[in-house]
Amino acid sequence: MTLETLKEIKRRGLTTPDDIALVGFEDTVMDHCLQEPFPVITQSTYALGQTAAELLFRRLREPDAPIQEVRLETQLSIDSQRLEVGTTRGGD
- The one-letter amino acid at 43: Q
12 pLDDT more than 90: yes
Q: Are residues 24 and 59 in the same domain?
A: no
Question: What per-residue confidence (pLDDT) applies to 89?
Answer: 46
Q: 86 in a domain, yes or no?
A: no
Q: Are residues 52 and 29 in the same domain?
A: no
Q: Are residues 32 and 4 in the same domain?
A: yes
| Count of structural domains within the chain | 2
Q: 14 in a domain, yes or no?
A: yes
Domain containing 49 equals: 44-73
Question: What per-residue confidence (pLDDT) applies to 49?
Answer: 94
State pTM to two decimals. 0.56
Q: 80 in a domain, yes or no?
A: no
Q: Are residues 4 and 24 in the same domain?
A: yes
Omega before 37 cis (within 30°)? Answer: no
44 pLDDT more than 60: yes
Omega before 17 cis (within 30°)? Answer: yes
